[in-house]
Amino acid sequence: MSNLTGIHCDMAEAEYRMAPAIAASDIKHILPPRTPAHYASHMAGEVKKEQTKAMLLGTLTHLAVLEPEKLEAAYAVRPVGTDYRTKAGKEWRDSQTSPVIDQEDADALCGMRDAVAAHAGAQQVLADTKREVAAFAEHRTGLWIKGRIDILGADFIGDVKTTENADPDNFARTCVNLNYAAQAGHYTQLARLNGREVKHFTFIAVERAAPFAIAVYRLDERALAWGLKQVNDALQLIAECEDRGEWPGYGDRAITLNLPAWAYGKEVAA
């Protein structure tokens, strides 16, 4: 891994993905409520995932925000009425060299691109930054970690997130449910291990549907510290499991199970 140590601004995504180090997307498989067994299964490739429409649109959305000049060359639009069951439809599909999306999705991507371009706060975050930066470092556990950072500024890191609802309360819940704070902690640690100053972590939250509303959020210090602790605890657990050669699941003892308080309704107050 020594040849990959550091920050790489021009590394192809395929090369980054092949590098044998632990990414934030790997760590989430051991964060509660997941277990070491889930992480080991993920890393062994036992849980196969084909690219879904959502994954493709996520990739294209990042392109729309971070490299908007490349967006429209990155996909083909399926003509309205094209039926892949017909000879003409099959021939059109097979002739495409780019991923195919529907017109509705193409319109949404262009809408998000244009909304970000017109948003002063988002443009301030994006100004004078490096985009899609690969970073590698050796963690204190001896494990190698990596990340593909959306936005790397002089003293901050930025990340683009699409969402159904970008209002503060909803996005805060999303940060918890989708482990965004842990991801922020992971990227921040990577940058600092490579000697970069990181004063704050910023999200550009973009709604997926018209009017493609945008919010810019700076993660507070407590949330970032909590996310970093989650990452370091997870990496410590991974290292210990590797040393023992054991990847436990939920345990082998019976546990008394209660139901959540809301399930009992008014009986809880009785």
pLDDT attached to residue 31: 96
Judge whether 117 lies within some domain.
yes
Tens of pLDDT along 204-227? Answer: 999 999 999 999 999 999 999 999
Residue 176 has pLDDT above 90, yes or no: yes
Integer distance in angstroms from the first to the last C-alpha of the chain? 61
Report the percentage of the chain scoring pLDDT > 70.
95
At residue 265 the predicted structure's pLDDT band, cuts being 50, 70 and 90, is confident
Query: What are the C-alpha distances in Å from 92 to residues 52, 78, 98, 100?
Result: 21, 9, 12, 10
Using DSSP's 3-state secondary structure scheme, residue 43 falls into helix
Q: Do strands 76-77 and 144-152 pair parallel, antiparallel, or not at all (unpaired)?
A: unpaired
Q: Which of 18, 34, 9 is nearest to 194 (CA)?
A: 9
Tens of pLDDT along 41-83? Answer: 999 986 555 567 778 888 899 999 999 998 989 999 998 888 8
Q: Specify the CATH number for the domain of residue 19.
A: 3.90.320.10
Report the percentage of the chain scoring pLDDT > 90.
77
Judge whether 252 lies within some domain.
no
What is the average per-residue pLDDT within 117-139?
Answer: 96
Q: What is the mean pLDDT of the chain?
A: 92
Domain that holds residue 88: 2-239
pLDDT attached to residue 51: 62
Judge whether 257 lies within some domain.
no
Distance of CA 205 to the CA centre of its chain: 12
Beta-ladder partners of 80: none
Instruction: Tell me the whole-structure pTM to 2 decimals.
Output: 0.89
Judge whether 42 lies within some domain.
yes
pLDDT attached to residue 47: 55
Judge whether 265 lies within some domain.
no
Number of structural domains in the chain: 1
Judge whether 46 lies within some domain.
yes
Judge whether 43 lies within some domain.
yes
At residue 19 the predicted structure's pLDDT band, cuts being 50, 70 and 90, is very high
Residue 268 has pLDDT above 60, yes or no: no
User: Percent helix, strand, coil in the chain (nearest 5)?
Assistant: 45, 15, 35
Judge whether 39 lies within some domain.
yes
Least confident window among 3-7, 138-142, 149-153, 186-190: 3-7
**Strand ranges across the sheet with 130-138:** 6-8, 130-138, 144-152, 156-163, 200-207, 214-218
Q: How far apart are the C-alpha atoms of 179 and 2, rounded to whole Å?
A: 29
Q: Is residue 217 a contact partner of residue 168, using CB atoms and an 8 Å limit?
A: yes
Q: Is residue 180 a contact partner of residue 226, using CB atoms and an 8 Å limit?
A: no
